[in-house]
């Protein structure tokens, strides 16, 4: 009789673990869906921390069958709310995005490697060469621009045969305005000034920079997208 009771208890534990696993699996899917769609390689630091904490809580909630499931669900829900609120703040504030995610860094500019930028990002030549090889680029001399994105991905623009790297017009599409804010570090990279940008936009009929959600300058032409009016 004792052996039978012990087997029944073990079976109950397994059934509870299976039930908790299914429930938490569905709950995590819902949480990730609410938090938005992002590729794994593009997760921000906040995303990564929250995902790790939720995963750890789920494991504890599955293994500890004696602990009420609510003790696992409540912290996970709190993390979801915090992450959702921070995502809204990040959407509205570029400064907050830069603090959390960092900003893209130009590693190669007009064919010249910026060692100081690499040092600031703790990005070494082995990393650079490896990522260039992944893009089938064997020679650094073939690169006109290489930008290390905030996700750690390297975006590369190769030199064209009919274009000199000394051309006065930039051949890479850098955002000059984001969310109504002028990106002065991008202006510096294309050897332009804030005054130059404001004058150009004035001539095109754009008098209020705050109304511009996105503006880039590429091959002598502006691409401008205004904020939605509601």
Identify the H or E element spanning 192.
none
- The mean predicted confidence, pLDDT, of the chain is 79
* DSSP designation for 111: T
Q: Record the pTM.
A: 0.53
Look at residue 162 in the predicted model and tell me its pLDDT: 43
* φ, ψ at 117 (rounded to 5°): -65, -40
pLDDT value, residue 168: 46
The CA-atom distances, in angstroms, between 227 and each of 85, 175, 202 are 22, 15, 17
Measured in whole angstroms, the distance separating CA 82 from the mean position of its chain's CA atoms is 18
Residue that the structure tokens 């202006």 belong to? 187
SS3 65: coil
Contact by Cβ (8 Å): 105, 147: yes
What Rg, from alpha-carbon coordinates, does the chain have? 25
Distance of CA 2 to the CA centre of its chain: 57
Ranges of the chain with pLDDT below 70:
1-10, 36-44, 160-173, 229-230
Q: What is the pLDDT of residue 88?
A: 82
| Dihedral (Cα; 23, 24, 30, 35), 10-degree rounding | 170
């Amino acid at each position: 009789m004792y052996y039978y009771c012990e087997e029944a208890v073990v079976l109950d534990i397994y059934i509870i673990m299976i039930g908790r696993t299914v429930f938490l699996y569905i709950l995590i899917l819902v949480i990730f869906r609410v938090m938005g769609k992002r590729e794994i390689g593009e997760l921000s630091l906040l995303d990564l921390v929250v995902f790790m904490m939720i995963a750890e809580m789920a494991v504890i909630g599955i293994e500890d069958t004696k602990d009420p499931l609510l003790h696992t669900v409540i912290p996970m829900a709190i993390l979801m709310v915090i992450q959702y609120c921070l995502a809204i703040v990040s959407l509205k504030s570029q400064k907050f995005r830069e603090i959390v995610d960092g900003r893209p860094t130009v590693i190669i500019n007009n064919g010249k490697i910026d060692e100081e930028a690499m040092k600031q990002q703790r990005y070494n030549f082995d990393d650079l060469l490896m990522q260039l090889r992944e893009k089938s680029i064997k020679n650094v001399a073939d690169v006109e621009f290489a930008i290390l994105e905030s996700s750690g991905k390297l975006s590369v623009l190769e030199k064209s045969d009919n274009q000199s790297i000394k051309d006065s017009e930039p051949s890479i599409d850098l955002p000059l305005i984001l969310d109504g804010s002028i990106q002065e570090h991008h202006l510096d990279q294309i050897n332009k000034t804030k005054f130059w940008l404001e004058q150009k936009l004035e001539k095109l009929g754009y008098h209020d920079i705050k109304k511009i959600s996105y503006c880039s300058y590429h091959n002598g032409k502006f691409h401008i997208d205004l904020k939605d009016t509601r």
